[in-house]
Structure 1
Amino acid sequence: MVLVVLLAWGYVVLLMALATAGAADGGIGAALRVALGYGLLPMALFVYIAGSPLRRKAARRAAQAQAAADPTSGAPNASGHATAGAEPGRVAPVREKDRRL
């Protein structure tokens, strides 16, 4: 669908540029400005916006592939092993609060 829109818009801009170049007060410079202003810049913006879901999907796939290759780099416990429980009979150390007031 994106390709159809780009081809149609490119055709319209080409005709606009040719009409501008052939006009009495137009010229090659005016035709190039029309082609850039109405053609290349808006089409590049359209491709960037339309391609953002694909880029997001590719980034997600790359992150998943990297996490699968190196299980310690991802989220906690990305390796799939059970986490270690607290050792029985031990109390976790607690820091004393700073007494300087």
Structure 2
Amino acid sequence: MLIVVLLAWGYVVLLMALAAALAPDGSAWAALRVLLGYGLLPMALFIYIAGSPLRRKAARRAAQRAATGSAAPDAGGHAAGGAEPGGVTAVREER
């Protein structure tokens, strides 16, 4: 849903900048100001505010992992994979 909002707002800002550039007294400088002032800066602020719950959740998960000490290499909760193809098999030495 957030992507749709950003795409729609970007489309509106692009049309505004195009209108500012193609107006009889318009310029490329005015179009650039519209793109930055109405487009890039508000979108960046929106993404930052909308992403704060995700950042908070990731920080909480990292703190929980650090507190429980589950930093073991295979603590990911995934099933172990099979041997890689083309690997070298172990050979027992004879004495």
Q: TM-score, normalised by structure 2?
A: 0.71
Aligned residues: 70
Aligned partner of 2:66 in structure 1 is 66
| Bigger Rg over Cα | 1
Which whole-Å CA distance do the structure 2 matches of 1:20 and 1:55 have between them? 37
- Are residues 1:45 and 2:42 paired? no
1:69-88 matched pairs, under 5 angstroms: 69=69
Please identify runs of 4+ aligned residues in structure 1 that moved more than 2 A: none
Which whole-Å CA distance do the structure 1 matches of 2:60 and 2:20 have between them? 45
Query: After superposition, what is the alpha-carbon deviation per residue over 1:50-75, rounded to whole angstroms, capped at 9, x for unaligned?
Result: 001001000000000111118xxxxx
Give me the CA root mean square deviation: 1.0
Aligned partner of 1:82 in structure 2 is none
Aligned partner of 2:7 in structure 1 is 7
Return the letter of the residue paired with 1:11.
Y
Aligned partner of 1:94 in structure 2 is none
Q: TM-score, normalised by structure 1?
A: 0.67
